Amino acid sequence: MAAYLRPSALPDALEALASRATGGRGWVVVAGATDHYPARVGRVPDEDVLDVSALGGLRGIIGGATGTAESGWRIGALTTWSDLADADDLPPLFAGLRRAARTIGGLQVQNRATLAGNLCNASPAADGVPNLLALDAAVELASASGVRRVPLGEFIVGNRRTVRRPEELVTGILVPPPLADTTVRSAFEKLGSRAYLVISIAMVAAILEVDREGRIARARLAVGACSEVAERLTALETELRGRRPAEAPAIPRSDHLATLSPIDDVRGSAAYRQDAALVLVRRALEALAG
């Protein structure tokens, strides 16, 4: 009989993970289970499940409007997409991420799926990743022997591959504060073939931090579903620095997206994705230009 554990305290979960860290059967970690079951349609695999959904203290967003913005925000690993979408008190920095929150599956999924699960599942089309990349988010990983923080760009290393070790659990996502003395705007553009319940053909997250002179102090953009792991557009970001937001939409060129490596699939051709990503980048910047 396969095992099932649903601890309510983090140390118990970490101890369980540690006990299986080497050799033999590992734990399959489940929280909202919205990626778990779809991978098991018509199958009942013999596997051991660590259900982390009851762990205390891992749900919710700390920081932001409550006055700790200097130190950034901590999104607990059990925070759902609906929690995020409903968090009206979050600053404009999160507008793109919150928009993405309402495009992930249907409400049925948004009400259950966690942001951390979206990262751990590491789909190239994960809607949370471009935004969190643009936010320079870090992933907090806890194990019985301690806690480490890994920048999201280093956490996901391939299609459905992360650097999470078997004994580790993602406990939170850390979002650093924006640059001081800037006005922040963020946007998210998602392209799909239908209105709801749609997997992205391509998507773009963009954040602009604008200084008191009205110039872009920092631009952060990321493209998803156009490479194995979503990518930041660093060349474009550099070029946007110092420009005014109103000028920004005219700046992106195809060579800014040259590092992408989209694939052909049922949702769209590679050439189309490459082409569309540039359009989405421009539109995201247009949305932030005003």
Partner 1 sequence: MSGAPVPIAFRLNGRAVAVTSAPMRRLSELLRDDLGLTGTKVGCDAGDCGACTVRLDGRQVAACLVPAGQLEGTSVETVEGLARPDGGPSALQAAFLDHGAAQCGICTPGMLMAASDLLATAAEADDATIRDGLGGVLCRCTGYRAIVEAVAAVRDGSGPTPGAAASGKVVGARVRKVDGLPRVLGAARFGADEVPLDALAVRAIRSPHPRARFTIGDLEPLRTRHPGLVRVLTAADVPGENRYGIYETGKDQPALADGEVRYRGEAVAALVGEPAAIAAIDDVEVPIEWSPLPPLTTIDDAVAPAAPRLHAEAPGNVLVRGRLAMGNPDEAIRTSAVTAAVEIETTALEHAYIEPEAGWARRVPGHSGDRLELAVSTQSPYMDRDEVARILGIRPDQVRIIPTACGGGFGGKLDLGVHPLIALAAWHTGRPVRATWTRPESMAASTKRHPARIRISGGATADGRLTGVRTHGEFDTGAHASWGPTVANRVPVHATGPYEWQAVLATTAAIHTNNPPSGAFRGFGVPQAAIAHEALIDELAERLGADPLELRLRNALRAGSVTASGQVLRASAGLPACLEALRPRWRRLRDEAAAHRAGDERRRRGVGIAAMWYGIGNTALPNPSTIEIGVSRDGRVTLFSGAVDIGQGASTVVAQIAADALGLPLERVEIVSGDTARTADAGKSSASRQTFVSGNAARLAAADLRRQILQLGEVGPDVEIEPAPGRLLLREPGGRAAVIELGELPVVPVTDATADVVLAGRGFFDPETTELDADGQGVPYQTYAFGAQVAAVEVDLELGTTMVRTIVAAHDVGRAINPQGVEGQIHGGIAQGLGMALMEAYVPGRTENLHDYLIPTVGDMPEIECILIEDPDPAGPYGAKGVGEPALIPTAPAILAAIRDATGVRITTLPASPDRVRAAIVAASR
Interface ranges with partner 1 (CB under 8 A): 1-4, 6, 28, 30, 32-34, 36-38, 41-44, 46-49, 51, 53-54, 82, 102, 105-109, 111-112, 191, 193-199, 201, 266-269, 271-272, 275-276, 279-280
Q: How far is the CB of 117 from partner 1 (least distance, A)?
A: 12
Give whichever of 35 and 140 is closer to partner 1, judged by the CB atom.
35
Give whichever of 138 and 277 is closer to partner 1, judged by the CB atom.
277
Give whichever of 54 and 157 is closer to partner 1, judged by the CB atom.
54
- Torsion from C-alpha of 18, 19, 23, 28, nearest 10 degrees: -70
Largest Cα–Cα distance in the chain?
Answer: 65
Rounded (5°) CA angle 206-224-27: 120
Give whichever of 78 and 119 is closer to partner 1, judged by the CB atom.
78
Give whichever of 55 and 141 is closer to partner 1, judged by the CB atom.
55
Q: How far is the CB of 183 from partner 1 (least distance, A)?
A: 27
Q: How far is the CB of 54 from partner 1 (least distance, A)?
A: 8
Q: How far is the CB of 110 from partner 1 (least distance, A)?
A: 8
How many angstroms separate the CA atoms of 232 and 226, rounded? 11
Q: How far is the CB of 206 from partner 1 (least distance, A)?
A: 17
Q: Which distant-in-sequence residues (6+ apart) come within 8 Å of 37 by Cβ?
A: none
Tell the residue number behind the tokens 């580790």, with chain if given.
168
- Return the number of other C-beta atoms located less than 10 Å from residue 173's C-beta: 26
How many angstroms separate the CA atoms of 201 and 263, rounded? 10
Q: How far is the CB of 228 from partner 1 (least distance, A)?
A: 19
Give whichever of 183 and 269 is closer to partner 1, judged by the CB atom.
269
Q: How far is the CB of 205 from partner 1 (least distance, A)?
A: 17
Buried/exposed 78-109: b ≥16 CB within 10 Å, e otherwise = bbbbbbbbebeebebbbbbbbbbbbbbbeeeb
Q: Which three-class secondary structure state does DSSP give residue 10?
A: helix
Give whichever of 53 and 182 is closer to partner 1, judged by the CB atom.
53
Q: Which three-class secondary structure state does DSSP give residue 223?
A: strand
Q: Are strands 169-175 and 138-143 parallel, antiparallel or unpaired?
A: antiparallel
Rounded (5°) CA angle 3-142-9: 55
